[in-house]
A and B are shown apart, each in its own frame.
Chain A
Amino acid sequence: MNLVVRHAIPLLVVSLLVFVAASTIYPLFFVFNTALKNDAAFTANRFGLADPPTLDNFVVAWKRMDVVRTAFNSAVTTISGVIGAWAICLPLAFAATKLEFPGRNVLFLIILSSMLIPVQTILYPFYLVVRDLGLLNKHAGLTITFVTFAIPVTSFQMAAYLRNLPNEIIEAARMDGASTFQLLVQIILPICRPVLAVTGIINFIWMWNDILLPVLVMQTPASRTLMIGAGLLKGQWGSSATLISAGLALAVLPVLVMFLIAQRQIIQGMTVGAELFSYLEVDDFEGAISHLSDSEVAARWQALMAPLMDSADAISPWAVLDEVFHQD
């Protein structure tokens, strides 16, 4: 009896995991498999392998979805959104954690509290602002929108990261006469590479995949993003399951390739992101580290970032620290 239980439970556990994994992978397999059939083959055999596979659906979908244009729109707005979020949030997080000036905490709190205003609550007034500023149907418009909605989470994670950065490094640079701008570019930026990777990955995924903001801001056919194109599939193409599948497959392909290539970085990015975020969220962080010495904090910080540093091929912040301390 005991023997049976000892062997049955691990088997049960693994089959549970296999079942869940199958449920995450099979849907995508189904889409690609369907896309490779023609309508007749799909009707005759909905679940079997496409045999012989055909690329006809992809050719039609490629043209009808205007993939070149929509993917271009998506790429431009997503990449500039990611970079814009870095450029806006890094100085913000730096000032919020390392500079002292009147009203700093209140202002930072106001910026963070904008998290409570998702676009769903302000749809029409938000649309009006975008329209009145002349930003409708422009790459700049969607980019600025993306950046605005990335600000709370991104700056929060950067602040959580920078908070543990020893102040000596900044003081040392200040004694050398560095301006805030020089500090940011020459010292904070290289140190922040791990957190830039984290926030970049997270922002890239949601910006590329988002549909509500693009639908509001990019309304003309020429300015549509890839996801808007995917969202129109059903309405435009009737009910050809194989054709729609081909469209979905095309829309999902860039992210799929990215996931397969950078899978480790994505998972680690999400992990570190969650970790940084939850520290501050439950206000556990000060308590957790207050009894530690600086070098212990530093060690923990390094341990937390280590996997990401390796995979992102980023330089070690500790190398930078050493350089700074050994300069004089």
Chain B
Amino acid sequence: MFKAVPAARPRVALIKWSGYLCFGPAFSLVVVFKFYPLTSGIFYSFTNWKGGPNWHFTGVANYSRILEDPAFLASMRNAVKVLVTLPLWVLIPFLLAFLIFQETPGWRFFRAAFVFPYTIAPVIAGYIFSFLLGLDGPFNEVLRAIGLGVIATQWFGNVNTALWALVGVALWSYFGLGVVTYLAGMANVPKDYFEAARVDGANWLQQVAYIAIPSLLPTISYWSVICTAGMLIWFFPYIYAITGGGPGYASMLPEFYIYQVSTRYAQPAYASAMGIVLFIYIVIVSFVQVRFMYFGAKTS
């Protein structure tokens, strides 16, 4: 029945042309709807095209305009601020996943409850939290009840808090995905490791530090990459539903500003240039992350 097979399985050589047939649909879709727009976006970004027939090349004019655009600069600064919250995105799900992994009483319920927000549309989550974090919303009510009434504020309407409130809502939506991702990784760590550590008298913190974290480095790095890339593209629905980038540019992020310039201000060439800048930013961040994390995980 089964033949003896070498450990590394060679790929089967089959009818060759059928491979191209299998690739064809996916490849054409990706080319038409992604690579072609990217290429034409690069092209537009060097013109002063406004949608009409009259346009000419303007060199890097759009790009130098970006450098002087207060809105775009503010949005990039905000993007960096958001990236700084990465440790929260990595640690909170890890902690919760480990508690579930240890089968804390009620873990099945908690796992379901944590995953639940991920299934709620971000635009709806945004709306809900604009109520909850409003001036008279439950969150401020709780703050007042526990004597912290002084910090109660219109969380999305305050220049100092709007961006962080958005981060909080996005975290609410996505932390469950992190919990599940970590649980998938933890399932592969032999339970004996923890058993042995407990027998040797390791406490909870030591189990986390000396067993869970080292053996889960690949998962941690994988999840960090997902979050880092996601932070550049996950926030659109929240800004769309809640702040519109305001007050001022306090909660503006590049992805939303590009959308505004594309749709509201009808400046396709300029919007394309900003899109290309965002693209380059995403590519750099992703590559640095993957390299850094990859080697980090490998060497340890």
Binding site for B on A (CB under 8 A): 9-10, 13-14, 16-17, 20-21, 23-28, 30-31, 34, 46-47, 88-89, 91-92, 94-102, 104, 107-108, 110-111, 114, 116-118, 120-130, 133, 144-145, 147-148, 151, 155, 166-168, 170-171, 174, 179-181, 184, 205, 208-212, 215, 227, 230-231, 233-234, 241, 244-245, 248, 251-252, 255, 258-259, 263, 266-267, 270-272, 274-275, 277-278, 281-284, 290-295, 325-326
Tell me which of A147, A241, A284 has the highest count of chain B C-beta atoms within 10 A of its own C-beta: A284
Cα(A118)–Cα(B3), bound, Å: 45
Q: A25-B116, A271-B180 are in contact. Are A121 and B23 (CB under 8 A)?
A: no
Tell me whether B184 and A21 are in contact (CB under 8 A).
no
* Measured CA separation A107–B27 after assembly (Å): 8
Given contacts A227-B124, A252-B124, A277-B222, 9 further A-B contacts (CB under 8 A): A46-B136, A98-B12, A110-B30, A120-B255, A122-B37, A123-B259, A167-B12, A180-B22, A231-B237
Residue in chain B with minimal CB distance to A90: B22
Q: Within the complex, which residue of A31, A125, A284 is in contact with B272, where a contact is CB–CB below 8 Å?
A: A125
Chain B 137-181 near chain A by CB (<8 Å), digits 1 or 0? 010010000000000000000000000000000001000110011
Q: How far apart are the CA atoms of A271 and B184 in the complex, in Å?
A: 5
Q: Evaluate contact between A25 and B113: CB separation under 8 angstroms.
A: yes
Shortest Cβ gap from A110 to chain B (Å): 7
Q: For the complex, what is the distance from the CA of A114 to the CA of B33, rounded to whole Å?
A: 10
Q: How far is the CB of A26 from chain B (nearest CB, A)?
A: 8
Smallest beta-carbon distance B176→chain A, Å: 8
A99 engages B275 (CB within 8 Å): no
Report the Cα distance A53→B3, complex, angstroms: 69
Expressed in whole angstroms, the minimum distance between the Cβ of A82 and any Cβ of chain B is 15
Known interface pairs A124-B44, A231-B123; A170-B12 also in contact (CB < 8 Å): yes
A-B contact pairs, 16 of them (CB 8 A): A17-B100, A27-B132, A30-B138, A99-B19, A118-B282, A121-B41, A123-B275, A124-B275, A129-B32, A227-B123, A244-B127, A258-B119, A278-B181, A278-B184, A278-B218, A295-B2
Which single member of A17, A123, A151, A248 contacts B26 (CB below 8 Å)?
A: A151
Q: How far is the CB of A216 from chain B (nearest CB, A)?
A: 8
Identify B180's interface contact among A88, A102, A258, A267, CB under 8 A: A267
A181 to B286, CA, bound (A): 37
B23 touches A92 (CB 8 A): yes
A124 touches B262 (CB 8 A): yes
Complex contact B14–A99 (CB within 8 A): yes
Is B54 engaged at the interface, CB distance under 8 Å to the other chain? no
Contact, CB under 8 Å: A114 / B35: yes
Q: How far is the CB of A113 from chain B (nearest CB, A)?
A: 9
Q: Which residue of A lies closest to B287 (CB)?
A: A116
Q: Are B128 and A27 in contact (CB under 8 A)?
A: yes
Given A27-B128, A31-B128, A121:B2 Cβ within 8 A: no
Residues of A within 8 A of B113 (CB): 20-21, 24-25
Which residue from A13, A144, A145, A167 sits with its C-beta under 8 Å from B9? A167
Chain A residue with the shortest CB-CB distance to B129 = A27
Taking Cβ atoms with an 8 Å cutoff, the residues of B that contact A are 1-3, 5, 7-23, 25-27, 29-30, 32-38, 40-41, 44, 96, 99-100, 104-106, 109-125, 127-132, 136, 138, 141, 172, 176-177, 180-181, 183-185, 187, 204, 218-219, 221-222, 225, 232-233, 236-237, 240-241, 254-255, 258-259, 262-263, 268, 271-272, 275-276, 278-279, 282-283, 286, 294, 297
Give bound CA distance, A107 to B22, whole Å: 12
Asked if B38 and A117 make an inter-chain contact with CB atoms under 8 angstroms apart, the answer reads yes
Q: Are A99 and B22 in contact (CB under 8 A)?
A: yes
Which residues does chain A contribute within 8 Å of B25, judged by CB atoms?
88, 91-92
The answer to whether A255 touches B120 (Cβ under 8 A) is yes
A121 with B278: in contact, given A104-B19, A281-B222 (CB under 8 Å)? yes
Contact A129 B36 (CB under 8 A): yes
Contact of B294 among A20, A23, A282, A292 (CB under 8 A): A282
Q: Which of A96, A233, A248 has the most CB of B within 10 A?
A: A248
Instruction: Please give the distance in Å from A209's CB to the nearest CB on chain B.
Output: 4
Residues of A within 8 A of B221 (CB): 282
Closest A residue to B276 by CB, please name it.
Answer: A121
Which 5 interchain pairs have the tightest Cβ spacing? A95-B22, A209-B121, A91-B22, A125-B37, A180-B18
Chain B residues with Cβ under 8 A from A97's Cβ?
11
Cross-chain contact A281 with B225 (CB below 8 angstroms): yes
Closest to B18 in A: A180
Neighbour of B29 across the interface among A17, A151, A278, CB < 8 A: A151
Contacts of A91 in B (CB 8 A): 21-23, 25
Cα A209 to Cα B65 with chains together (Å): 35
CA distance A118 to B121 in the complex (A): 18
Contact B121 A267 (CB under 8 A): no
B184 touches A272 (CB 8 A): yes
Minimum C-beta distance from A296 to chain B (A): 10
Query: Provided the pairs A117-B279, A118-B233 are in contact, do residues A230 and B124 lie with their beta carbons within 8 angstroms?
Result: yes
Closest residue of A by beta carbon distance from B254: A120
Task: Please state if B11 and A99 are interface contacts (CB–CB under 8 Å).
Answer: yes
- Chain A residues near B9: list those with CB within 8 A: 166-167, 294
B19, A101: Cβ atoms closer than 8 Å? yes
Check A120–B233 contact: CB distance below 8 A: yes
Which residues of chain B are near A94, meaning CB under 8 Å? 22
Would you give the shortest CB distance from A47 to chain B, in whole angstroms?
Answer: 6
- Please give me the residue from chain B that is nearest to A228 by CB atom: B123
Q: How far, in whole Å, are A248 and B136 apart by their CA atoms in the complex? A: 19
- The distance from the CB of B145 to the nearest CB of chain A, in whole angstroms, is 11
The distance from the CB of A63 to the nearest CB of chain B, in whole angstroms, is 19
Q: Which residue of A lies closest to B100 (CB)?
A: A17
Given A117-B279, A121-B276, A211-B121, A21:B22 Cβ within 8 A = no
